[in-house]
């Protein structure tokens, strides 16, 4: 695994808004390769406690290696970041000083053709964050009715050709099962209207995004996580969330707004914080990132 291929998004901004103090208890709910977590661990000092969570066993293995040199309590768990109560019970913690959720995929996940997240290399149509459980993207494209496929692609992918793509998938699977990323990408391409210029974005991009979100129940998990983690923050504790999709950002924005209206939270970022042009040039995958932060008042 080439750790150098992954660059954590907005590391300085994350540390600024998370405001990590020595001796604090911090959750990194989307550990990845521990890029952000290593910065947090350094700021926590020897008396701090870092709790790292990821659904991907490969990520946890690499993160454990990267964090091995730090002398503080570190608990790394394979779990969904939405399973707040189970996680805190397992590490015997009741309250936190801060929570970070970076909702982007790690580069090594995107680049590993065996995971099925990308069509740039042909591989199994999987897309599960945790490959030990749950349905795969192949299960969905080969079993769901056309209406449900169209809904997923339109709602999660925001694709105006969702109905055409869903129809093409159903038609193709009557001839052969769609089991690889290459097969699905070709189907999406074939669904474009005659003479349509596909522009910068490959027509399969939104379909892949939509299926990944459906397979991993990402929006449902995010809503539960935002509510759950805020409940266990101490007063003045902070939650920082980096999203990469308009639907995710809308959920985060509305959740923080509701907390502020209730008088329970203070929104720290009136507008989402975005990466600099320099960072985007160094790390093109950061371009769509938006960071929002909220602080618990009571």
pLDDT in tens, 262-283: 999 999 999 999 999 999 999 8
Higher pLDDT, 130 or 50: 50
Residue 201's pLDDT is 74
Higher pLDDT, 203 or 6: 203
Share of the chain above pLDDT 70, in %: 93
* Predicted confidence (pLDDT) at residue 193 exceeds the cutoff of 80: yes
Task: To the nearest 10°, report the CA torsion of 148, 162, 108, 199.
Answer: 180
How far, CA to CA in Å, does 131 sit from each of 76, 135, 173, 273? Answer: 18, 9, 24, 33
pLDDT in tens, 32-74: 889 999 999 999 999 999 999 998 888 899 999 999 999 999 9
All domains of the chain in start order, with CATH: 3-108+218-296 (3.40.50.150), 130-215 (1.10.150.170)
φ, ψ of residue 143 to 5 degrees: the values are -125, -30
Token code pair at residue 11? 């590391």
Residue 116's pLDDT is 73
- What is the DSSP-derived secondary structure letter of residue 105? P
Terminal-to-terminal C-alpha distance of the chain: 43
- What is the DSSP-derived secondary structure letter of residue 106? P
DSSP lists the bridge partners of residue 295 as 238, 266
Contact 10, 16 (CB under 8 A): no
Using left for φ > 0, alpha for ψ between -120 and 50, and beta otherwise, residue 56 falls in beta
**Nearest to 216, CA basis, from 54, 52, 2, 90:** 54
Residue 51's pLDDT is 98
Residue 2's pLDDT is 40
For residues 89-105, give the mean pLDDT: 94
Contact 180, 115 (CB under 8 A): no
């Amino acid at each position: 695994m080439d750790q150098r291929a992954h660059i954590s998004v907005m590391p300085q901004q994350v540390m600024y808004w998370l405001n990590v103090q020595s001796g604090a208890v911090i959750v990194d709910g989307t550990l990845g390769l521990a890029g952000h977590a290593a910065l947090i661990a350094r700021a926590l000092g020897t008396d701090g406690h870092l709790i790292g969570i990821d659904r991907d066993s490969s990520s946890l293995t690499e993160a454990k290696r990267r964090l091995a040199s730090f002398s503080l309590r570190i608990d790394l768990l394979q779990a969904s970041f939405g399973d707040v109560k189970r996680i805190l019970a397992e590490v015997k913690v009741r309250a936190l000083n801060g929570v970070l959720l970076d909702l982007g995929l790690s580069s090594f996940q995107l680049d590993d053709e065996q995971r099925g997240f990308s069509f740039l290399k042909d591989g199994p149509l999987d897309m599960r964050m945790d490959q030990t459980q749950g349905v795969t993207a192949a299960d969905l494209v080969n079993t769901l009715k056309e209406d449900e496929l169209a809904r997923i692609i339109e709602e999660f992918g925001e694709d105006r050709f969702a109905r055409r793509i869903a129809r093409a998938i159903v038609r193709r699977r009557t001839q052969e099962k769609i089991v690889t990323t290459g097969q699905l990408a070709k189907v999406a391409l074939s669904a474009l209207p005659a003479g349509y210029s596909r522009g910068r974005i490959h027509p399969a991009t939104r379909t892949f995004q939509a299926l990944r979100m459906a397979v991993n129940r990402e929006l449902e998990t995010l809503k539960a996580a935002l509510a759950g983690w805020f409940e266990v923050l101490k007063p003045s504790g902070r939650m920082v969330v980096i999203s990469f999709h308009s639907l995710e950002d809308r959920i985060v924005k509305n959740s923080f707004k509701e907390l502020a209206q209730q008088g329970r939270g203070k929104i720290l970022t009136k507008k989402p914080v975005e990466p600099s042009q320099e960072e985007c040039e160094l790390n093109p995958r950061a371009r769509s990132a938006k960071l929002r932060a909220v602080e618990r008042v009571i």
